[in-house]
Structure 1
Amino acid sequence: MTLLVVGASGHLGGEVCRRALAAGQRVVGTYRRAPGVVDGVDWRPLDVRDRAAVGALIGTLQPRVVVNCAFEYASWVVTADGAAHVALAAAEAGARLVHLSSDAVHGGRCTPYLDDEPPAPVFPYGAAKAAAETAVRLVDPSAALVRTSVIVGDAASRQVRLCFDAISETGSVALFSDEIRCPISVDDLAAAVLELVESDHAGLINVAGPEAVSRVEFGLLVARVHGLDPARMRTTTIAESGLARPPQVQLDSGRAAALLTTPLRAVSEFLSRP
């Protein structure tokens, strides 16, 4: 039986592949530009924008499960249309679908968001993710849709490298003091995704860390763990940047904590183990 990970060359997709392989599953992983680095994966090129190609691959493989991690921050066609293509093909093949969504679907407020709250995006990426959710839910009501937050890995992961850049003398990044999220370890999220694969959960579910921190607070934690000087950190606000971004988005992951055995660790805990 086959587990197909769409977008397997990305950060989360790669970790899902590693864990599934370690559990003895056959794993097929797709990539758009280059294969990932996880040994043991059956790598297949796939452009999710091509509905016929998606249907052909899934129709040929007949996977038991499809995990869709594919997205592109600045591409509606990849993020929204691609999700619809994957959902349609998975439904036609009778595969269990776990679709990865984002807290970017929300507009921001001071109280936490529950699992089933409707999206109200304030920027294009959030709108694309919201459209993807709608497509997946219409095509396959039995699919699990995981809303998650900032995904953090080791020192090579994107979110940690952004903090390094903000502290570097030659960097160009400034961290937002007023953008608050609930970071989650890529290890915890991948484990949660694979638990959902084996569950019968249908619909939306929040899977994020229990600790809400600003981008600046996250950067300070990274600096402390890696022995960097926090005084050199460049900071800004959303208003000063001129960007349209949701400010405080805190996901209530109580349903996931009750359903899953995977612990969802606070960012201060998993960052303390570099």
Structure 2
Amino acid sequence: MRLLVTGGSGYTGGRLVSLARAAGHDVTGTSHSARAEGLVPLDVRDRAAVDRLLDELRPDAVVHTAYVQGDWHVTASGAAHVAAAAARTGSRLVHVSSDAVYGGRPQPYTEADPPSPVYPYGAAKAAAETVVALVHPGAAIVRTSLIVGDDASKQHQLALDFALGRRTGVLFTDQVRQPVSVDDLAAVLLELALGDFRGVLHVAGPTPLTRHELGVLIAARHGIAADLVPAGRGADLPAAGPQEVRLDLTLARTVLRTRLRPPDEVLAV
């Protein structure tokens, strides 16, 4: 398979590039930085550049992982450009979205629940989903959660920075997510690129945890005591984001071969 992975210098995209190459696929990864080793430069905000690259590569499948949390044009417009080019060249598309599209509630969200974003990043991801579904109806849209696995993860870095006093702040005791292994997520994305699933699919770990509980697991992996991981309530802070966002994984368990492991197994010491 000829595979194109946007955002190949990112945590998930980089792991997918390595996994797919190890499986024998012809993989091109992109990065916004022209200096990224082993990757080709691509600014997904530049529609003409996206078109040129897909015309040149003619990939069998594209996995779109590129985003910038504070940049609407990368996250939303970039997704539109990639989706349009993939549709035009007949390439399968797997688009990576986020549980940030939801506003939060105690009950798990199913794939049928429409997005209800409450902050700009969630709105950008929801807009990206909308345009991908319209422009490339055969695409798989993967909503995922906090991505963990090793210390290259932003979640690991944040927890360790707080626990070791390298920065000030707290991990929220009232924000619930479903952390997913980067290796499991990469395996799912490759599985979907090789398959024919279309529509939205929730892909996350099976165990809901607060951000503080996740931080304690990460700290324990480094022999750091739980009481050194600072705790606080997101509800006490302005613009802290949604509180409880759980994803129903019933469909994922039905259609995927890849097992989604709980975070205590992924982060076992």
TM-score by length of 1: 0.95
Query: How far does the alpha carbon of each residue in 1:99-157 deviate from its partner, in whole angstroms, 9 at most, with x for none?
Result: 00000000000010112211000000000000000000000110000000000021232
Q: 1:156 aligns with which of 152, 158, 170?
A: 152
CA contact (8 A) 2:6 2:31 kept: yes
Question: Is 1:145 the counterpart of 2:130 in the alignment?
Answer: no
Moved runs in structure 1, 4+ residues, more than 4 A? Answer: 34-37
> Counterparts of 2:252 and 2:90 in 1: how far apart (Å)?
25
1:44-83 pair list within 5 angstroms: 44-83=40-79
> Counterparts of 1:201 and 1:63 in 2: how far apart (Å)?
18
> Counterparts of 2:240 and 2:224 in 1: how far apart (Å)?
30
Question: Is 1:106 the counterpart of 2:102 in the alignment?
Answer: yes
Specify the alignment match of 2:183 in structure 1. 187
TM-score by length of 2: 0.97
Amino acid at match of 1:79: T
Amino acid at match of 2:179: P
Question: Is 1:227 the counterpart of 2:236 in the alignment?
Answer: no
CA contact (8 A) 1:149 1:184 kept: yes
Specify the alignment match of 2:201 in structure 1. 205
> Counterparts of 2:131 and 2:230 in 1: how far apart (Å)?
39
Specify the alignment match of 1:29 in structure 2. 29
CA contact (8 A) 2:3 2:25 kept: yes
> Counterparts of 2:147 and 2:166 in 1: how far apart (Å)?
25
CA contact (8 A) 1:8 1:36 kept: no
* Aligned-CA RMSD value: 1.2
CA contact (8 A) 1:208 1:253 kept: yes
Specify the alignment match of 1:127 in structure 2. 123
**Which secondary structure state, in structure 1, belongs to the residue aligned with residue 217 of structure 2?**
helix
CA contact (8 A) 1:149 1:183 kept: yes
> Counterparts of 2:165 and 2:128 in 1: how far apart (Å)?
39
Mean CA deviation greater in 97-106 or 232-241: 232-241
Q: How much does 1:36 deviate?
A: 4.6
Q: 1:89 aligns with which of 85, 88, 92?
A: 85
CA contact (8 A) 2:149 2:266 kept: no
> Counterparts of 1:120 and 1:36 in 2: how far apart (Å)?
35
> Counterparts of 1:147 and 1:188 in 2: how far apart (Å)?
14
Q: How much does 1:198 deviate?
A: 1.4
Amino acid at match of 1:141: P
CA contact (8 A) 2:11 2:152 kept: no
**Which secondary structure state, in structure 2, belongs to the residue aligned with residue 100 of structure 1?**
strand
> Counterparts of 1:17 and 1:170 in 2: how far apart (Å)?
31
> Counterparts of 1:193 and 1:219 in 2: how far apart (Å)?
26
> Counterparts of 1:53 and 1:36 in 2: how far apart (Å)?
17
Q: 2:254 aligns with which of 254, 258, 265?
A: 258
Q: How much does 1:260 deviate?
A: 1.1
CA contact (8 A) 1:122 1:246 kept: yes
> Counterparts of 2:240 and 2:55 in 1: how far apart (Å)?
40
